[in-house]
Amino acid sequence: MNIGFIGLGNMGLPMAKNLAAAGHRVTGFDVVPAAREAATEAGIAIAAGNSEAATDADVVITMLPNGAIAKAVASEVLPAMSKGALLIDCSTVDVNSAREIDALASEQGVLCLDAPVSGGVGGAEAGTLTFMVGGSGGAFAKGAPFFDIMGKKAVHCGEGGAGQAAKICNNMLLGISMIGACEAFALAKKLGLSQERLFDVISTSSGSCWSVNTYCPVPGVGPKSPADNDYRPGFAAALMLKDLGLSQQAADAADAPTPLGRHAADLYSAMNDAGMGGDDFSAMIRFLGTMERKS
Per-residue pLDDT tens for 175-227? 999 999 999 999 999 999 999 999 999 999 999 999 999 999 999 999 999 99
- State pLDDT tens for residues 227-272: 999 999 888 999 999 999 999 999 999 999 999 999 999 999 999 9
User: Considering the chain, what percentage of its residues have pLDDT values greater than 90?
Assistant: 96
Q: Is the pLDDT of residue 11 over 70?
A: yes
> Are residues 137 and 186 both part of a single domain?
no
Residues 123, 60 within the same domain? yes
For residue 286, the tally of other CB atoms under 10 A from its CB is: 18
Domain finish residue from 159, 191, 215: 159
The pLDDT value recorded for residue 77 is: 97
Count CA atoms within 13 Å of residue 193 on its CB side. Answer: 15
Distances (CA, A) of 169 to 136, 160, 166, 176, 261: 21, 16, 5, 11, 9
Whole-Å CA distances, 249 to 256, 258, 261: 10, 11, 11
Q: What pTM does this model have? A: 0.90
Q: What is the Cα–Cα distance from 163 to 114, expressed in whole angstroms?
A: 6
Instruction: Give domain status of residue 100, yes or no.
Output: yes
- 3 sits in the region (left: phi over 0; alpha: psi -120 to 50; else beta) called beta
Query: Do 249 and 281 belong together in one domain?
Result: yes
N- to C-terminal Cα separation, the chain: 61
HEC secondary structure over 193-233: CCHHHHHHHHCCCCCCCHHHHCCCCCCCCCCCCHHHHCCCC
Please check whether residues 142 and 179 belong to one and the same domain.
no
CATH number of the domain bearing residue 253: 1.10.1040.10
Same domain membership, residue 169 and residue 152: no
Confidence at 122, pLDDT banded by 50, 70, 90: confident
Q: Is the domain of 117 the same as that of 41?
A: yes
d(CA 33, CA 243): 27
Position 50 pLDDT exceeds 90: yes
Q: What is the number of domains present in the chain?
A: 2
pLDDT for position 163:
97
Same domain, 140 and 237: no
Q: What is the mean pLDDT of residues 102-118?
A: 97
Range of the domain at 215: 165-290
Q: Are residues 8 and 93 in the same domain?
A: yes
Residue 18 has pLDDT above 80, yes or no: yes
pLDDT of residue 179: 98
At 202-215, the pLDDT tens digits run: 999 999 999 999 99
Whether 20 and 144 map to the same domain: the answer is yes
pLDDT (average), residues 126-143: 97
Whether residue 36 is found in the same domain as residue 96: yes
pLDDT at 6 over 50: yes
Question: Using only C-alpha atoms, what is the Rg of the chain?
Answer: 20
Of 144, 159, 174, the residue that ends a domain is 159
Q: Which pLDDT belongs to residue 294? A: 62
pLDDT of residue 119: 86
Residues annotated as catalytic are: 167
Assigned domain for 295 exists: no
Q: Before 119, cis peptide (omega within 30)?
A: no
Write down which residue in 159, 191, 217 finishes a domain: 159
Q: Is the pLDDT of residue 295 over 50?
A: no
